[in-house]
Chain A
Amino acid sequence: MDKEFIEQYIPLYSEAALLTVKIGFLGIAAAIIIGLVCETIVYFKIPVLRRIVSVYIELSRNTVSKNSKDLHEIRQKIGMVFQNYELFPHMTVLDNVMLAPVKAQGRKKSEVREEALALLKRVGLESKADSYPRQLSGGQKQRTAIVRALCMHPEILLFDEVTAALDPQMVREVLEVILDLANAGKTMLVVTHEMQFARAVADRIVFFDDGQIIEQAAPDEFFDHPKTDKAKQFLNTFTFERDRSTTNRA
Chain B
Amino acid sequence: MEKKLVRCNINGKDVETYLDVRSSLTDMLRNDYRLTSVKKGCEVGECGACNVIIDGECYNSCIYLAVWAEGKHIRTLESLLGPNGELSDIQQAFVDEAAVQCGFCTPGFIMTAVKILESGKEYTREELRKQLSGHLCRCTGYENILNAVEKTMKKRLGKA
Q: Do A and B come from one complex?
A: no
- Name B's A-contacting residues (CB within 8 A): none
- Name A's B-contacting residues (CB within 8 A): none
